[in-house]
Chain A
Amino acid sequence: MAHAATNPQEIPAQQSSFRKSLSEPRTLVNTALTVLALLFSVFAMFPLFSVLYMLLAKGATQLSLSLFTELTPGAGMEGGGIGNAIVGTLVVVAVSTVLALPLGFMGAVYLAEYGGESKLAVVVRFCGKVLTGLPSILAGVFAYAMVVVTTGSFSALAGGAAMAVLMIPTVMLTAESALRAVPSKMKMAAFGMGATRAQVVTKIVIPTAIPGILTGVMLALARAMGETAPLLFTALFSDYWFGGELLKPIASLSVLIYNFAGSPFEHQIALAWAASLVLVTIVLVLNVIAQIVTRRPEEH
């Protein structure tokens, strides 16, 4: 079955029937494979539904106002919530956005408007792709070496720096394709009126490409929100509210889920499910917003 019949003379010798009936072996094999493929596809989607079901079954029962307004409880204690972790996740993601946006965005402007196919552009694009494939934990190792070792403590800044490394390539590569999608007629019209390249880029190309750029930012944010590995030994965790100090350890939803998942206390495990529900909801909402913002025309 590896290759199509290469010798045309062989074809009449096969005498295969073109009748479509389940009693024909060819039709039977075809139908059986189709059924199998559909079954496997349903099977492949099962985990998603199982995860969503568990989140609702175990997480939704925990939802209450105090979940969002109270601090994480200590070992064996009842009550409490995940308020500090929600705030912490938002702070870390905000820090990483501030760090990642300029580099990702201007890198994309360079690639789309100035780089062309020059050597530097090829290298920049390659580095961007390599960074996309960088295991997230290595971003954490990098931030540990750069920030934690230098400042001498785990901190929100270190966590944000680790996340930023993960956000930059996503932001850059999606923004590049958004900038490239701007019709060249619009640019030519502006050039024809005597605009400088910088004017064309800042006044025509970027404003037109904003929806696409925002999509990339949303997707990068959604990815960053759920990341745990880079935060484990950069942001660490904290049982207290964020007090405005970026150089202190900070709580996050994802690290909370990791810590409490291994806890021997029922109540902490229940909070891990609740935190998962909150986290997945935020991530899915960001994904949906990203899809709405682009309203990409359907392929094919």
Chain B
Amino acid sequence: MASTGMKAGPDLTEAFRSPVSRPPSAWQKNFDVAFKYLAHAFGAGVVLLLGGVVFEVMRHAKTAIADYGFKFLTTSTWDANRADFGILPEILGTLYTSILALGMGGFLGITVALVLSQGFVPRKVELAMKNVIELLAAIPSVVYGLWGIFVLVPLLRGPAGWLNEHFESIPFFSTRLSGPGILPAALVLSIMILPTVTAISREAMAAVPKRLAAAAYGLGATRWEVIFNVTLPTSAGGIFGALVLGFGRALGETMALAMLVGNANVFGFSLFSPGNTLAALLANHFPEAGNVEVGALMYAALVLMLITLAVNALGSWIMLHATRELKGLG
């Protein structure tokens, strides 16, 4: 349907010309029914797509599950030649890097959300900052990986060496940073989840009824007293949901980790030691995997899928309840 003349509106000239009381023709009726079924079919197609993703991964993982069973999750060898596979270091590495990233990215993300929602800066600056944070999310993760290799890792080498020399007894600093490792990976990961945390928690803070904060200001509270006693407790549900969704994002992020985590099949608490994650394992082994290894990788993909789906479902559920709770306050 051409919409010439009028902007942002359908062309009604033809409709005006046709007799108003004419019932739809047979063709129009058939088209109506066909279109309805088509829409339903495509809607169901989205369900089938998700089902297909889950089913395909499970189908290909079936033999590996039968072969390696539960031992797959609790052992740490990855040897394609002897068909001996275990993903314990990857599971721990995935959780460890994501928790570290959540600690840093979550804290910064909530702080930025406060600055963007509580009138700290003029409206124009607020908008500019919001755009900059959104751009952070637009940069492809492989570019962050490249930046991490050539900017972040050299930058960290000095402080990491110093910490290792002086505080070697603390487990976090017990090894040297030889290049890629847990810390640079977690740092880049925190940059990548920051926009998610900021966007969602900012919305939760903005949804706090203005009169609540105004009442506290009226009692003589300072800005931060209002934030700690009114804004944060009221929007806590939404902020928690934002953190969970950010965590879900961190768990599944691949490229920055594949490039920065070191791909060593070990797990240690040292921030400077290399490690591995489930997503990075898939990225590094899939392209050259033989039949046996593909089975094991499918099993690993299934584990990753179950973890991320559970975390994301939890996050969505929290968000749903957080918005419902706020509705009663307006």
- List A residues at the B interface (Cβ < 8 Å): 1-4, 11, 16, 18, 26-27, 29-30, 33-34, 37-38, 40-41, 43-45, 47-48, 50-51, 54-55, 58, 102-103, 106-107, 109-111, 113-115, 120-121, 123-124, 127-131, 133-142, 144-146, 149, 165, 168-169, 172, 186, 190, 193-199, 201-204, 207-208, 211, 222, 225-229, 232-233, 236, 254, 257-258, 261-262, 269, 272-273, 276, 279-280, 283-284, 287, 299-300
Contacts and interface: CB of A to CB of B under 8 A. Distances in A.
Nearest to B286: A233
A48 B286 contact: no
Contacts of A262: 149, 259
B298 interface: yes
Interface string B239-269: 0000001001101111100110000000000
A106 B298 contact: no
Across the A-B interface, give the 7 residue pairs with the lowest CB-CB distance, nearest first: A135-B252, A226-B140, A110-B43, A106-B42, A133-B312, A198-B35, A229-B254
B57 interface: yes
Contact of A228 (B3, B112, B140): B140
Contacts of B46: 103, 107, 124, 127-128, 131, 168-169, 172
A48 B46 CA distance: 35
A4 B216 contact: yes
B330 to A, nearest CB: 14
Nearest to A130: B50
| Chain A contact residues: helix, strand, loop or mixed | helix
Given A130-B312, A165-B53, A198-B36, A283 B140 contact: yes
B53 A208 contact: no
B146 A273 contact: yes
Contacts of B298: 141, 145
Contact of B146 (A186, A261, A283): A261
B39 A199 contact: no
Given A124-B44, A261-B259, A44 B133 contact: yes
Contact of A1 (B43, B229, B249): B229
Interface of B: 1, 3, 8-10, 15, 20-24, 28-29, 31-32, 34-36, 38-47, 49-50, 52-53, 56-57, 59-60, 108-109, 111-112, 114-115, 120-121, 129, 132-136, 138-147, 149-151, 191, 194, 206, 216, 219-220, 222-225, 228-230, 233, 245, 248-249, 251-255, 258-259, 279, 282-283, 286-287, 297-298, 301, 304-305, 308-309, 312-313, 315-316
Contact of A120 (B1, B43, B132): B43
A45 to B, nearest CB: 5
Contacts of B40: 110, 114, 120
A103 B252 contact: no
B22 A26 contact: no
Given A44-B133, A138-B301, A114 B222 contact: no
A34 B224 contact: yes
Given A194-B21, A229-B254, A300 B191 contact: no
Contact of B141 (A2, A29, A228): A228
